């Protein structure tokens, strides 16, 4: 699945409204560049093959002690970012 994600992301990354809302929360402030880095170099920690939006996955990315989770789904023309957040420490 990682190759599908990279291939889709290299075409275009589409941020769904929920993702934009979650990324722009004052306690998160996750940038588009952080999302791009996460999808290209992060680790898939869960796959959702039966998701209603099509196969999707949860990506974990850590950089300088900042941990980001990104849920995305690869499409033929773009990578859809469903949501992104900073997971709770526990």
Where in the sequence is the domain holding 69, given as residue range(s)?
2-85
Domain presence at residue 90: no
Domain presence at residue 14: yes
Distance from the Cα of residue 30 to its chain's centroid? 11
Question: For the domain that residue 67 is a member of, what is the CATH number?
Answer: 3.30.2310
Give the pLDDT score at 36: 96
Total tally of structural domains belonging to the chain: 1
Main-chain phi, psi angles of 57, to 5 degrees: -155, 165
Task: Note the pTM of the prediction, 2 decimals.
Answer: 0.91
Domain presence at residue 49: yes
Domain presence at residue 62: yes
Give the pLDDT score at 1: 87
5 close to 55: Cβ distance less than 8 angstroms:
no
Q: Answer whether residue 6 shows pLDDT above 90.
A: yes
- Could you tell me the CA-to-CA distances from 32 to 19, 38, 49, 56 in Å, in that order? 10, 10, 25, 19
Number of residues that this document lists for the chain? 90
Distance CA 45, CA 37 (A): 16
């Amino acid at each position: 699945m990682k190759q599908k994600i990279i291939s889709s992301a290299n075409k275009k990354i589409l941020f769904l409204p929920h993702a934009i809302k979650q990324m722009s929360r004052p306690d998160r402030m996750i940038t588009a560049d952080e999302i791009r880095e996460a999808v290209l170099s992060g680790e898939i920690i869960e796959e959702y093959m039966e998701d209603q939006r099509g196969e999707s996955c949860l990506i974990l990315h850590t950089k300088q002690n900042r941990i980001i989770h990104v849920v995305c789904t690869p499409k033929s023309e773009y990578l859809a970012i469903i949501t992104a957040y900073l997971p709770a420490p526990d």
